[in-house]
Structure 1
Amino acid sequence: MKRTLKILRVHSHYILFFLFTFFSKGLIAQCTFPYTSNSGTFTVSQIKGCAPLQVNICINSSAPSTCTGGESCDFIYGDGSDEGADQFENTYTEPGNYRLEIIYPNPAPSDFIDIVVTDKTAPEFEVYACGGNTVRADITDNQYDNYMISWGDGTDVTIPINTADQEHTYANTNTRTITVQGIDNNALDNCATASTSFTPFTSLPTPLITQLSVIDNSQVELNLSLADNIFYRLEVQVNGTGNFNFIKTIESTSTEEIIDNLDLENNYYCFRVGAVDLCSSAITYSNAICSINLSLAVNDGFNSLLWETSDPTGMFDLARKVTTENGSSTTNPYLQFTPQARLADDSNLDCNIEYCYFLEADFNGGISISNEVCGIATSSLAPDSVSDMSISVTDAGIQLEWEPQTQAISNYQIRSFGSLIANVEETNYLDVRNVGTEAAVCYIIVSEDECGNSNESKEFCSIYLSGSIAPDNTISLDWNDYNGFADSVDFYRVEKFYNLAPAGTFNSNTSDFTETDTNPNEQIINYQVTAIPRNSNLPPAVSNIITIIKLNNIYYPTAFTPDGNGNNETFSVKGQFIVDYQLQIFNRWGEMIFTTNNPDEGWDGTYNSSPQHEGTYVFNLRAVDLAGQEIERSGSFLLLRR
């Protein structure tokens, strides 16, 4: 490495050294540095410092040579760098212990001095806030002989190692940067500095424990809200009695702390955090928050919960988590209890289902969360029986639908007239065995829970509708009272159809209905009855559909008198709802003397325009009505003339 001669800027006698070197050959410059070599022939600017360390050399008057011009010297710096004559400066870039040696010309005496280069890091220190805008600095470092503290407001202080903590008071609460530099004796102050930002406090803020969570039987987790640069201590009280005792100090940067080695099966613990003013020893305490120890006992038909803690400032919120085949769900809060409560029972359970619980409570602004306890519910109590059933008769079969139970039911057995017809998990079933039934069909539903307990409903029967029609088209409907609704039937709705097209709706408070249909164009009438429940949450029950066919009422006279007086002049066969018609008339010899396809056309007593004789004649009728019924009639009648 090439060495260059530098003009030194420390003192004026350094400059004289070089002036004498260049202008007074043979003379020795009268310059000096603070540190003298072993034999006193030269001095150096530094003997100790951090890397990189620059060392400059002055040759004293007692030296055998000026080491300039033709009196060259060998400079050996000991760091493995290029070495040669008349090199009065070297920079040590690596930490280590080096011997700087100068070998003078013949005769060749030599002289040396030891150089120490360190790699010391920035000093470690901590600052703590006190009240009254005061800061306390704690130098925890022991690398250096001395430390200079710059308080950031123009004030500095230098203290030796292991000096007591330093305090400084600021004029206001403005944020400052505090810097600490380590300085060794007889060393250059070129080592790294450490700094931190600091905001003074007029008074220390109150810390807060935001949450306490029980992890297991030996650990809790505390979540904290702390201010920077404050000395904190954590304290504990057992079972809410006695003094709070010190556990440990807490870093102001901590947001959570795990406290272990606890006996949470037999005790509960209350915690608080103190903000310590190290200048006055005053302590500002946080809220006190206590763990909640929750236990569970699974009983026949109910779960008992018991907990231990101090009274919170708010209600206890009990959360419940239910795990089923479809996943898990948590209700929080599920129940709430007063601060003095310590016991609760939960009977709203389904058999063989796992229930988990935990408690939450507010302790002066911090939430305490208990341990979680779980148990599988068991019961010997029979579930509620099905009390509401809707039965509807459809073209596909009889549809059953019932209200789900408040308990969890694993299986429903469907029985009909003593026989088991199905096992289902749903609350509906289509009985395809019964299509077009001619009587009411009855069912019993057996509810069974996960524990094998069962309960049988009463017998529910479908609505069976029947009807009849009188010759005057008076229609009478009758059906059995529907028994499927616990709150009974509000009313029955009778729906009327002409060939399945809506034709009217009637309400009835009884299980029968009568009407006379006078529509001359509709022969086919359908009826269906719907039971409307008083409980509007239930679907209605629907009967079978019946078909009523009005009579075609075929009639004819036994005699007619075609004598021109305008009365009873023709013979015809009449009826209602006729869509296809053929009438034939025969004389006594079997000869057909008249035929027509028009129901409104009658025989006038002639044949080939000739009046026929009085006597007996025979007719034959073939017809079809609106209902598709084929009609065949035959008979005899008299032709009379007056």
Structure 2
Amino acid sequence: MNTKLLFLLALLLCAAGAPALAQCVPNPDPTTNFLVYRPGGSTPVTELCVGNVYRLKDASGRNIPPALVRYAKLPALTCNPADTDTSTFYTPAAAGTVVITQNTPSADPLKLGVIFGRSFVVRALPDPSFVLTTCSPGVVQVTIDDQIYDQYLVQIGNAPAAPAFRNTPTPYPTGSATTVRVTGIFLNGCTREATKSFTPKPAAVQPRLRRLDALNGSFTFQFGPLQTDYDYLLQQTGGPGQPSFPVSAGLASLTIPATPDGRGCYRLLLSDACSPSVTSLASNELCAETLTGTSADGRNILTWTPANAAATYVLLRNGVALPAGASPYSDSVGITCGVTYRYRLEATVGTGATAAVSTAETSVLTSARQMLPVPRVFASFNPRNQVQLTATVPNLPAGGQLLYLRNGQPLATTARRTLLDSTLVLSQGACYSVRFTDACGNQSAAGASFCPVLLTAKAADADGTRAQLTWSALGSPVAPGTVRYTVEAQLADGSWRPVSAALTDLEFLDLQPPTDRQLLRYRVAASAPGQPVSYSNVASVPRQLKVFLPTAFSPNGDGLNDVLEVKGRFLTTFRFVVVDRNGQEVFRATDRTQTWNGRIGNEPPVLGAYVWRFEATDETGQRVLQHGTITIVK
């Protein structure tokens, strides 16, 4: 609002003749006036704006020289006749109210000058606020949410500016431009510009639904790569009113509640945030599959209704594909009563990179059936002469109960597929079989018997320089003529090495047993096509530990029988002691390399008889004790 204030400045002279201070009083003189213009403008302005340049022009009609007109620009009227600012241009620096005061001299030097003031509102010029949205390629959307200016212009790149309205989203073609300029305009002519840059969107790519898994009351979707520049909506097809779900471009999958009947077809819709009804691309359609299962008489019946046109269907049990078939599908091979199986139906639409898969799953507890699989048992001795039993139930690695039998008599009942028989008496021999009982209480027939090889061994001569081995034939489901037997001997380090070729006979004579082993240990490895190697028990041939000592020796330095040494075979751990006639120990040896030269300390040998004692524990654990006399002669 403009307000005219007209004042008289009284020039009073002091008594000494100097000018007096001015006094501001109202003056209705109509010849006092000034106007404010934009530079180059011809229309006076009544409002000012921060940062704009304005021209001040005397309008009193008195043709006063500009150098005699002074102006003050302050928040309030100033009555300072000493003001010397004669500039006719003014640039407001801050918003608010400013009073521009014009001080003009009187034409008559004896009359008072005139101070005239006018109040102006100075408006701020903030950047106009707007929202810039990048739309489909070649289009941007501008929404002016600014509430300050009276009018607006929008300019895309270097294109002509066009009027725009507040709070009205408006699309604009961009061509090759990458900037948007919005100009805010006050009715007083003040303007302010704001510019934003944008990156054009890439061309939209049709989205892909890759997978739909119906499981546990949920639908889980997997998508192809989504473009972050667009919006996505997962839609259930089938007409108006169907639910839809927003999908973030950063997601690779989404899980939603399944429909009440477990059915429904879906698509993924790409849309432009500016004009979704204009720019939209729909993915392939993928429908939820349903799978149900029942069981009766050892058969599992799987039923489904194809939901995807032109799809290829595969049914899997516990992750393994079943033979092709249509609904209803009967699964009876390799299943066992009381066992729960997991079935999955996979419908594949299309091929290669564009293929989409829809799956559904169900679990079926198999009911009783008339025929149970017949189990098999395998038997082999371990080095401790215990029989390791391994049972196999076809297509059933776990579950149910196994009854292990030895020679037709119950040995143990357990769900484990392995058993250790540590109570077998070797002389009796053993044949093993097994029966299977399922979770429904049905028992199978007994499987074929398995009789491991039973080995016996003995020395073939008094000194045990040869060993005679005989064994029983392997009893197993394989044809007897296909079994081969290999005799193995145990080395000192506990390992085994073959000492015979692969034999069909049931006996073997070892002509060259190890000379450094008092206890010979043998086993037979029975091999046959289609089954692991079965080992016999370990059979031992003990050989006698022997020690040889002379009755006399002559430590006279002639090189003949100068020392006493312990000789024999299989002398590994022993103690040999010699005592004199007084019972005093004169020599001790624990190793065959230790010998006695007849001396006691540093004293020369004393002729006469001495008593010796030999103690050892052989490889069978038996204690050996011998004693005798030895005489030192010249």
Query: Same fold by TM (over 0.5)?
Result: yes
Q: Distance in 2 between matches of 1:405 and 1:513?
A: 36
Q: After the TM superposition, which residues 48-127 of structure 1 pair with which residues of structure 2 at under 5 Å, given as runs?
A: 53-54=50-51, 58-62=55-59, 72=72, 74-75=74-75, 88-92=90-94, 98-101=96-99, 111-117=118-124, 122-127=129-134
Query: In the alignment, what sits opposite 2:196?
Result: 194
Select which of 452, 468, 475 maps to 1:462: 452
Contact 1:416 1:444 in 2 (8 A): yes
Query: In the alignment, what sits opposite 2:595?
Result: none
Q: Does 1:161 align with 2:141?
A: no
Query: In the alignment, what sits opposite 2:406?
Result: 416
- SS in structure 2 of the partner of residue 444 of structure 1: strand
Query: In the alignment, what sits opposite 2:208?
Result: 209
Q: After the TM superposition, which residues 156-555 of structure 1 pair with which residues of structure 2 at under 5 Å, given as runs?
A: 156-161=160-165, 168=173, 170=175, 176-186=177-187, 188-198=190-200, 206-214=205-213, 221=221, 223=223, 225=225, 237-238=237-238, 263=259, 265=261, 267-271=263-267, 273=269, 286-300=282-296, 304-308=301-305, 310-311=307-308, 315-316=312-313, 331=319, 334-335=320-321, 351-352=338-339, 355=342, 357=344, 359=346, 361-363=348-350, 365-366=353-354, 368-370=356-358, 373-375=361-363, 377-381=365-369, 384-392=373-381, 394-403=383-392, 405-410=394-399, 411-417=401-407, 420-423=410-413, 426-434=416-424, 437-448=426-437, 454-455=443-444, 456-465=446-455, 480-486=472-478, 490-493=482-485, 495=487, 504-505=499-500, 507-509=502-504, 512-513=506-507, 528-535=523-530, 537-543=531-537, 545=539
The aligned amino acid for 2:163 is: I
- SS in structure 2 of the partner of residue 140 of structure 1: strand
After TM superposition, give the deviation of residue 285 of structure 1 in Å.
5.1
Q: Distance in 2 between matches of 1:128 and 1:298?
A: 54
Contact 1:316 1:337 in 2 (8 A): no
Query: In the alignment, what sits opposite 1:611?
Result: none
Query: In the alignment, what sits opposite 1:601?
Result: none
The aligned amino acid for 1:190 is: R
- SS in structure 2 of the partner of residue 267 of structure 1: coil
Contact 1:33 1:45 in 2 (8 A): no
- Percent identity reads 12
The aligned amino acid for 1:112 is: S
After TM superposition, give the deviation of residue 532 of structure 1 in Å.
1.9
The aligned amino acid for 2:348 is: A
After TM superposition, give the deviation of residue 197 of structure 1 in Å.
1.6
After TM superposition, give the deviation of residue 542 of structure 1 in Å.
2.0
Q: Distance in 2 between matches of 1:403 and 1:514?
A: 33
Q: 1:420 to 1:67 in 2, by over 3 A?
A: farther
Q: 1:384 to 1:248 in 2, by over 3 A?
A: closer
Query: In the alignment, what sits opposite 1:21?
Result: none
The aligned amino acid for 1:141 is: I
Contact 2:488 2:523 in 1 (8 A): yes
Contact 1:298 1:376 in 2 (8 A): yes
Moved more, 287-296 or 306-315: 306-315
- SS in structure 1 of the partner of residue 428 of structure 2: coil
Q: Structure 2: where are the runs of 5+ without partners?
A: 1-30, 78-82, 104-112, 544-568, 571-619, 623-634
Contact 1:390 1:484 in 2 (8 A): no
Q: Distance in 2 between matches of 1:378 and 1:429?
A: 28
- SS in structure 1 of the partner of residue 476 of structure 2: coil
Query: In the alignment, what sits opposite 2:142?
Result: 139
Q: 1:30 to 1:375 in 2, by over 3 A?
A: same
Q: 1:189 to 1:418 in 2, by over 3 A?
A: farther
- SS in structure 1 of the partner of residue 453 of structure 2: coil
The aligned amino acid for 2:533 is: P
Query: In the alignment, what sits opposite 2:626?
Result: none
RMSD: 6.0
Contact 2:377 2:449 in 1 (8 A): no
Q: Distance in 1 between matches of 2:248 and 2:387?
A: 74
Q: Distance in 2 between matches of 1:35 and 1:465?
A: 126
Q: Distance in 2 between matches of 1:252 and 1:393?
A: 63
After TM superposition, give the deviation of residue 73 of structure 1 in Å.
5.9
Q: Distance in 2 between matches of 1:343 and 1:383?
A: 24
Query: In the alignment, what sits opposite 1:562?
Result: none
Contact 1:409 1:450 in 2 (8 A): no
The aligned amino acid for 1:295 is: L
Q: 1:246 to 1:272 in 2, by over 3 A?
A: farther
Contact 1:525 1:548 in 2 (8 A): yes
Q: Distance in 1 between matches of 2:139 and 2:155?
A: 13
Q: 1:306 to 1:244 in 2, by over 3 A?
A: farther
TM-score, normalisation: structure 2: 0.55
Q: Distance in 2 between matches of 1:417 and 1:298?
A: 41
Q: 1:362 to 1:496 in 2, by over 3 A?
A: closer
- SS in structure 1 of the partner of residue 429 of structure 2: coil
Deviations 1:112-137 (A, max 9, x none): 3445547666422445446xxxx344
Contact 1:43 1:59 in 2 (8 A): no
Q: Structure 1: where are the runs of 5+ without partners?
A: 1-25, 47-52, 78-83, 323-330, 550-577, 580-626, 629-642
The aligned amino acid for 2:376 is: S
Contact 1:233 1:276 in 2 (8 A): no
Contact 1:235 1:244 in 2 (8 A): no
Q: 1:419 to 1:454 in 2, by over 3 A?
A: same
The aligned amino acid for 1:380 is: A
Contact 1:224 1:255 in 2 (8 A): no
Contact 2:72 2:100 in 1 (8 A): no
The aligned amino acid for 1:538 is: P
Q: 1:336 to 1:361 in 2, by over 3 A?
A: farther
The aligned amino acid for 2:321 is: L
Contact 2:267 2:286 in 1 (8 A): yes
- SS in structure 2 of the partner of residue 408 of structure 1: coil
- SS in structure 2 of the partner of residue 438 of structure 1: helix
After TM superposition, give the deviation of residue 493 of structure 1 in Å.
1.4
Q: After the TM superposition, which residues 616-631 of structure 1 pair with which residues of structure 2 at under 5 Å, given as runs?
A: none
The aligned amino acid for 2:368 is: S
Q: Distance in 1 between matches of 2:164 and 2:491?
A: 114
After TM superposition, give the deviation of residue 438 of structure 1 in Å.
0.9
Q: 1:250 to 1:434 in 2, by over 3 A?
A: closer
Contact 2:335 2:395 in 1 (8 A): no
